[in-house]
Chains A and B, each alone.
Chain A
Amino acid sequence: MAFALSAHFVLQTVLLNRISPLWLTAAEVVVAAVVVLILGVIAGEGTTRPNGAAVALGVGLGIAGLWLTEALVVTHRLTDAPSGSESLFFTTAVWALPVAAAASFRRQGRPTWAQWAGVLVGLLGAAAILANWERPSSFSPLVKFPVLEAWLMAAGVLWAMYGAVLARVRTVRPATLLLPAALSAAAIGAVSALLFGGPLPTDALAENLVGVVAAGVSLGFAWIAWTWIAQQRGEMKGVAPLIVPAVLLSLFALTERLGVVYGPRPLLVLPAAGAGVIALFGAAASWPVDLREGPARPTSAAKRFLLAFAVACVAVGAVALVTSRLSAVVTGELADGSPYYAAWKYIGAETAGGWMAMLFAVAFLARLLTPAARRTLILWALAGAIALVAYLPLADTPLRTWTRWLPAEVQQDYGTAYAQLRLRPLVSWPERAAVLGSAVGLIALAALSRPGIRKEGFFAEPHA
């Protein structure tokens, strides 16, 4: 699913400038439906007789969850505005939140505190990676195009609702729902394009046939993967594939940099690598784990101490969010040629370091409150130690460079000879203390916990 979403994002970026939104949506969903149909036939799903209720549900899901999601994304995604990094953030990583939120309302497969912490850490990691694409001109979510980006988030809610509905109808085979869903998405896509999309862009479609087919195929695979994951494995396993595309596309950009001239430039490699580690940690932590070993527990005294320590880390992390973190100086020229100068300070909540302090502490507290096998605790301790290293290059990343209160004519020239945004890191002891404390706390939790009694069979992690 992560690969399909990543490929689809790249291909769609190329096609957006060439084909009108409704026709592009129609072309993509039609090809995706063909992919679903072919794979359904190959898998022998066509031989089962679907019942009317399942077909009706599938049609509803197809219109709302597949076509409308895609239509909202395509019609509100422009290639330059919002920038690629923001579009990727709001069409993948941010969608993890409604997916996890929708899963929270279920009795089975509800995310634990630790999984929730993983979602938030993963979201931070993805944001921090993307904030290191084309800095300082690119990543400033909800600043330049808040309405467009709100629509992209709304598409994420539809995507999550599609998964949430599927997760509740486990008795029906995935293909029984997906086939009518895909076909109805294709039908509504084609009809809406014919009615409202203007004349058929025959030339544009012919010129970009390979791209359109590839985008549709990747979309089809994303649909199949999400349907299967949501229905057979629970929506929470669909969170990680939403966080990972930021990492995959950064790796792709890095390899492109070695050979060809496209992709985000500059990609600040070290901070992006640090952020990638955090994103992968979050994605892994959001994954449900089994407790075959039985939960490992520290002694009561150790647990009380660790609990107090974790709460202290969260409190210090909260202080880090409001502590000055970066000193910013903007110099440039206004439209009338007069020089412009502004200086202010970013607080921790506007930087990756500040959020890492807070969310890492939250992850530590959540891990403590969520019973887990000793092996899981050891993996978290290891991840904590690695995250501590990843924090070093990542910490000074600003999570936005644009503001609504500086002159746009200056901000749009950032990085050129006409305007500069210079950022200087400021030492934030609360941030360092919270990050270090949380990493030490995770290691201590693993070290002080006694292995649980091994159980037979598969036991999902207890719900919060």
Chain B
Amino acid sequence: MHKLEVKTKLSFAALVAALLVVAVALSACGKPRVSVRTGERVYCVYGEVLKNTVRTIQVPADEAKRYSVKRSTILCEKHRRLTEQYDQAQDALVRGDTTAAEKLLASIVTLEPTFRKASEQIRVIRSGKTPAPDLSSPGSPTSNPSSGGSSGGGSSGGGNSSPPPKPEGPSASLSGYVPDSIPGFTARPILAEDFSLTREYAPTDTTHILQLVITAEQYRDAAAAASADSRARMSYGQDGETIKIGSRTVWIGTDGRNTAGVIVREGSVVAIMEMAVTSRDPAGIKADLRSAATSVLE
């Protein structure tokens, strides 16, 4: 009886040990099938997707590193023509030739009613006034948008010293959150996604500030933005408070260490301004960030 009991115990032990070994081996070495996205997505600088071959495929885990989505941005034929006409219209406005300008702008809005300031300028012309020429945009007579691709939407490579094109399309409305200049910082190129813009700012002087990063994202509706707002507040929950900057009510807080964040929600847009510093002084970070956020929002 005793021998039988010992045998039973040993059998159980062997079974359990075998199961544990198999499970440890599985968790340590097991490699699942992984769904990855691959293909190419080509955008026009005006936001339209020109080519999208992105698909999700299942691959062995070992091969998962090899796949990614290649993204490029070009100026499509249609927008190249519209840009030319728009440039000509702005030239006409500079010359004071509103008739020619109206004709060109009307031609533009027939194809794309929301193209730059075309509709607005036509309305001004038709009200009997002369609109101010749009000289600040990449499509203006003083600017010459390149048709070369720029991965990530922000690089100005290729030896071209002209500034990178401003984001257009769905995320263009977010550009107010990522201004070209913030006092005390040098702006880096904008990283444009379909519905978000991100921009890094490096401090101009050697200070305790490491960098400032602003991300503005367009959500599908206000509820989704509110949810993102709540999640973001958790990241900056230390010393958090609601403050007024200009007319906006924003959240400012820190992660308790060396990063502070300002969270701005307006409708379905959430903008997060994150500042990293070398010191561990949450209160000090907040003051620095508040000053930078004020210059952006006001």
- Residues of chain A at the chain B interface (Cβ within 8 Å): 113, 120, 142, 257, 261, 265, 311, 314, 318, 321-322, 333-334, 336-345, 347, 349-350, 355, 358, 362, 365, 369, 399-400, 403, 405-407, 417, 464
Q: Quick check: is B243 within 8 A (CB to CB) of the other chain?
A: no
Q: Are the CB atoms of A344 and B34 closer together than 8 Å?
A: yes
Which single residue of chain B is at the shortest CB-CB distance from A359?
B20
User: Does B246 lie at the interface of the complex (its beta carbon under 8 Å from any beta carbon of A)?
Assistant: no
CB of A314 within 8 A of CB of B16, answer: yes
Give the size category of B's interface with A.
35 or more
B69 touches A341 (CB 8 A): yes
Q: Is B213 an interface residue (CB 8 A)?
A: yes
Known A-B contacts A337-B151, A405-B65; A349 and B36 likewise in contact (beta carbons under 8 Å): no
Distance of A345 Cα from B282 Cα, bound (Å): 39
Q: How far is the CA of A343 from the CA of B24 in the complex (A)?
A: 22
**Chain B, interface SS category:** mixed
CB pair A339–B71 under 8 Å, yes or no, is: yes
Partner of B68, one of A113, A339, A345, A365: A339
Chain A residue, CB-CB nearest to B191: A337
Q: Is B255 in the interface zone, CB < 8 Å from A?
A: yes
Question: B61 interface residue, CB < 8 Å from A?
Answer: yes
A406: chain B residues within 8 A (beta carbon): 64-65
List the A side residues contacting B13 at CB < 8 Å.
Answer: 113, 464
Is there contact, CB below 8 Å, between B64 and A405? yes
Main SS at interface, chain A: mixed
Contacts of B16 in A (CB 8 A): 314, 362, 365
Chain B interface (Cβ < 8 Å from any Cβ of A): 8-9, 12-13, 15-16, 19-20, 23-24, 26-28, 30-37, 56, 61-62, 64-65, 68-71, 151-152, 155, 191, 198, 213, 215, 238, 255-257, 272, 274, 280, 282
Given A261-B257, A261-B282, residue A349 in contact with residue B30 (CB < 8 A): yes
Cα of A343 to Cα of B36 in the assembled complex, Å: 6
What chain A residues lie within 8 Å of B272 (beta carbons)?
417
Known: A113-B9, A336-B151. A342 touches B30 (CB 8 A): no
In the complex, A187 Cα to B149 Cα: how many Å? 66
A342 with B69: CB separation less than 8 A: no
Please, which residues of chain A bring their CB within 8 A of the CB of B27?
A: 321, 347, 349-350, 399-400
How many whole Å from B281's CB to the nearest CB in chain A? 9
**Nearest-Cβ distance from residue B257 to partner chain A, whole angstroms:** 5
> Is B71 a contact partner of A405 (Cβ separation < 8 A)?
no
A339-B69, A344-B32, A347-B30 known; A321+B23 contact, CB < 8 A: yes
**Interchain CA distance A177-B280 in the complex, whole Å:** 47
Q: A365's closest neighbor in chain B, by CB?
A: B12
Q: Roughly how many angstroms separate A362 CA and B12 CA in the complex, as a whole number?
A: 10
| B19-A265 in contact (CB<8A) | no
Chain A residues near B15: list those with CB within 8 A: 314
Beta-carbon nearest neighbor of A310 in chain B: B12
Known A344-B34, A405-B62: A265·B151 in contact at CB below 8 Å:
no
Q: Taking each of A120, A265, A321, A338, which has the highest tally of chain B beta carbons within 10 Å of its own beta carbon? A: A338
Pairwise interchain contact B151-A342, C-beta atoms closer than 8 A: no
Within the complex, which residue of A265, A311, A417 is in contact with B257, where a contact is CB–CB below 8 Å?
A265
Asked whether A349 lies within 8 Å of B24 as measured between CB atoms, the reply is yes
> Do B68 and A142 touch across chains, with their CB atoms under 8 A apart?
no
* Choice from A314, A339, A340 contacting B19 with Cβ under 8 Å: A314
Q: Is the CB of B34 within 8 A of A342?
A: yes
Beyond A261-B256, A314-B15, A344-B33, 15 additional contacts (C-beta under 8 Å) are: A120-B20, A257-B256, A318-B23, A321-B26, A321-B27, A322-B26, A337-B71, A341-B68, A344-B32, A349-B26, A369-B9, A369-B12, A405-B61, A406-B65, A417-B274
**Which of chain B's residues have a CB closer than 8 A to the CB of A322?**
23, 26
Whether the Cβ atoms of A358 and B23 lie closer than 8 Å is yes
Closest chain B CB from A337 CB (angstroms): 4
The one of A337, A342, A347, A365 that contacts B36, using a Cβ cutoff of 8 Å: A342
In the complex, the chain B residue whose C-beta lies closest to that of A317 is B19
How many Å lie between the Cα of A355 and that of B27 in the bound state?
10
Shortest CB-to-CB span from A85 to chain B, Å, is 17
Residues of A within 8 A of B33 (CB): 344
B20 to chain A minimum Cβ distance, whole angstroms, is: 8
Q: Write the nearest CB–CB distance from A464 to chain B, whole angstroms.
A: 6
Please, which residue of chain B has its CB at the minimum distance from the CB of A143? B28
Instruction: Using known A-B contacts A142-B28, A343-B34, determine if residue A349 contacts B68 with beta carbons closer than 8 Å.
Output: no
B26 contacts A338, C-beta separation under 8 Å: no
* B213 cross-chain contacts in A, Cβ below 8 A: 417
29 residue pairs bridging A and B, Cβ less than 8 Å apart: A113-B9, A113-B13, A142-B28, A261-B282, A311-B12, A318-B23, A321-B23, A337-B71, A337-B152, A338-B70, A338-B71, A339-B69, A341-B37, A341-B56, A342-B35, A342-B36, A343-B35, A343-B36, A343-B56, A344-B32, A344-B35, A349-B24, A350-B27, A350-B30, A365-B12, A399-B27, A405-B62, A405-B64, A464-B13
User: Considering only CB atoms, which chain A residue lies closest to B272 in the complex?
Assistant: A417
State whether B68 touches A338 (Cβ < 8 A): yes
Contacts of A339 in B (CB 8 A): 37, 68-69, 71
Instruction: Quote the shortest CB–CB distance from B130 to chain A (angstroms).
Output: 43
Contacts of A343 on B, CB cut-off 8 Å?
Answer: 34-36, 56
Chain A residues with Cβ under 8 A from B64's Cβ?
Answer: 342, 405-406
Question: Is A344 in contact with B61, judged by CB distance below 8 angstroms?
Answer: yes
Name the B residues within 8 Å of A362 (CB-CB): 16, 20
